[in-house]
Structure 1
């Protein structure tokens, strides 16, 4: 039964996307081409984003074990922290939008640096339950969301060709 429920939800999503997908030609949209194409900066942003995501997801892989073994938190506490973690992500994405609009050039550097400080803070204070819980829930998740969103935004601005692969051969 759970598989059928997931399949039904997937079908609802498919129909919703098919109905709401724009019908305009992609090359006519303002986001079809990058605003500041630059091959060197694109490569730099791509590398920074890949390293940031790799670091974050490597940390996520071991966070349950870390919080339990090092932080001494029970599995039920870790579950609650993950729920808070998810809510913090929603808040972080909302906050990040305004930040990216105001400071697009420095957003990625600040986000990645803050993410690194957050991970180091978890390492330094992970043995203290309250500090580990606070570091895991709100700040760490907000920082990671910010770093990933900043990388994506910067990539779209710097891509040396059309932002959509299908348009790469289309005339401008």
Structure 2
């Protein structure tokens, strides 16, 4: 274990990296692309999968829930039990698990088997989300840690912007099984690239491992998770119910175009985060959450203008695009040598927020109509912003 000032940072290889490992970081980003594809694929193909499995769309919707459940239940204990393993073999096993479960899903004719595979897909995905952030930082020079994390994080917004629509197109144009099969092909390519270009890293030494309860009590970890919970619940509630909002607003903007705008803007958010995260992490976070809240306010107050709607959606996408990298960075720095375990709470928090968003959104939609989910975004975003200020001394500090 090493320290920088008073902040512990994850144990690195014996020799500090001196070259920026762009190829390896891009492979880790491609892993994130596969994760997002695996998570969101069923949502865009509900009618096709329901027809193929001779069941209802409501039942097929459980494929998303099964994935989230696998992530929530398995991630933290799996990361805790494997933190002593070498990182590269663990990475390969987890990606191979995604390859296997997506392939079985592509050939499955059984709802029960498909649900079981989705649970396992979520479990493998959670393991990967728990290790990607610290992996990217540890193989990079310390002065480029934020930039490396931003590159690793591009896989998620690229998957949202392009991967999910591509999978939906494959499934509707040919057959839904092609979408899952295509994801398996990408996973196989990622495995080959990991073997070729991603360096191995040692696991955590036994004498450095804190008990799980001690990790959650590390100063800063809890407040970061609280920010994630409020921020992502606000985002997921509004994002899930964007169609009712657009109907209530009476705008001419279509859901598809709005979501593409959001996805492309989220990539810009990653670029901004990569440029600023190493030098101004705290200021960047405050500004990002503030932009998130402003975007929601514009959508509520100026929804009659298509220009205002698209501008606000772009701001929303920029804010959300940088969120995962900033939160992973904060957890990695706060977690120190236990960064993998600290980061394993991140996908759990995200998926709990996604699960809760459906319930919260449905409730406020029934009571307040199409504008209510966007109001939830503003209120919870404001709470998240307040927490970033309250926790700035322990949770949101630079690594150097």
Q: TM-score range by the shorter chain?
A: 0.7 to 0.9
Q: Partner of 2:272 in structure 1?
A: 95
Q: Partner of 2:219 in structure 1?
A: 40
CA RMSD, Structure 1 to Structure 2 (Å): 2.5
Give the whole-Å Cα distance in 1 for the aligned partners of 2:292 and 2:283: 14
Instruction: Provide the secondary structure at the position in 2 that maps to 1:72.
Output: coil
Give the whole-Å Cα distance in 1 for the aligned partners of 2:278 and 2:204: 24
Unpaired runs of at least 5, structure 2: 1-174, 206-216, 342-400
Q: Partner of 1:105 in structure 2?
A: 282
Q: Partner of 2:340 in structure 1?
A: 164
Instruction: Provide the secondary structure at the position in 2 that maps to 1:163.
Output: helix
Question: Would the aligned equivalents of 1:39 and 1:160 in 2 still touch at CA under 8 Å?
Answer: no
Give the whole-Å Cα distance in 2 for the aligned partners of 1:71 and 1:18: 52
Question: Would the aligned equivalents of 2:221 and 2:334 in 1 still touch at CA under 8 Å?
Answer: yes
Q: Partner of 1:6 in structure 2?
A: 183
Q: Which has the higher contact order (CA 8 A, sep 6+)?
A: 1
Give the whole-Å Cα distance in 2 for the aligned partners of 1:141 and 1:39: 31
Task: Indicate how the Cα distance of structure 1 residues 10 and 147 shifts in structure 2: closer, same or farther if over 3 A, else same.
Answer: closer
Q: Partner of 1:125 in structure 2?
A: 302
Give the deviation of 1:74 after TM superposition: 4.8
TM-score (norm 2): 0.35
Give the deviation of 1:87 after TM superposition: 1.7
Question: Could you tell which deviates more after superposition, 79-88 or 1-10?
Answer: 1-10
TM-score (norm 1): 0.75
Give the deviation of 1:27 after TM superposition: 5.0
Q: How does 1:12-161 map to 2 (within 5 A)?
A: 12-27=189-204, 39-75=218-254, 78-136=255-313, 138-159=314-335, 161=337
Question: Would the aligned equivalents of 1:67 and 1:132 in 2 still touch at CA under 8 Å?
Answer: no
Q: Partner of 1:33 in structure 2?
A: none
After superposition, the C-alpha distances for 1:12-34 in whole angstroms (9 at most, x for unaligned) are 23333343332232459xxxxxx
After superposition, the C-alpha distances for 1:127-162 in whole angstroms (9 at most, x for unaligned) are 3222112211x2110012233322221111112652
Q: Partner of 2:86 in structure 1?
A: none
Give the whole-Å Cα distance in 2 for the aligned partners of 1:124 and 1:98: 32
Q: Number of residues paired by the alignment?
A: 153
Moved over 6 A (4+): none
Unpaired runs of at least 5, structure 1: 29-37, 166-172
Question: Would the aligned equivalents of 2:224 and 2:330 in 1 still touch at CA under 8 Å?
Answer: yes
Task: Indicate how the Cα distance of structure 1 residues 158 and 69 shifts in structure 2: closer, same or farther if over 3 A, else same.
Answer: same
Instruction: Provide the secondary structure at the position in 2 that maps to 1:102.
Output: coil
Give the whole-Å Cα distance in 1 for the aligned partners of 2:319 and 2:295: 8
Question: Would the aligned equivalents of 2:261 and 2:310 in 1 still touch at CA under 8 Å?
Answer: no
Q: Partner of 2:172 in structure 1?
A: none
Give the whole-Å Cα distance in 2 for the aligned partners of 1:24 and 1:10: 21
